Amino acid sequence: MKSVSLIDQRYELSETAFVEMVVWQPPTPVRGSNHGYKYRMALMSDGLCVLRYDNEAGKGDHKHIGPRQFRYDFSDLETLYVDFWTDVDEWLKKKRR
């Protein structure tokens, strides 16, 4: 069985910033994660990744804010989506200051 693409979207936020969201359902869970999804959600600004949620094999669920990495407690796709967009909104507010 192959991975099934569930989400593959890009949102332009400005001339220099965009969000990319990709979610797959692989045939087996990603090493380090206890759920059936492989995902990458990123906020790019001025050519740099300033925020990213992902579950890279072996690292499990985590998020990057700038150069720092934090554990992320995945519960379901809806919560992942809400948590990611909440962090995007917070980053955008800080940038406007």
Instruction: Give per-residue pLDDT as tens, 26-53.
Output: 999 899 999 999 999 999 999 999 999 9
Residue 96 lies in a domain: no
d(C-alpha 8, C-alpha 27), whole Å: 18
Residue 55 lies in a domain: yes
Residue 61 lies in a domain: yes
Residue 97 lies in a domain: no
Instruction: Give per-residue pLDDT as tens, 53-89.
Output: 999 888 899 999 999 999 999 999 999 999 999 999 9
CA distances (Å), origin 56, targets 6, 40, 46: 17, 9, 24
Q: What is the pTM of this model?
A: 0.92
- Domain with 76, as residue range(s), is 4-91
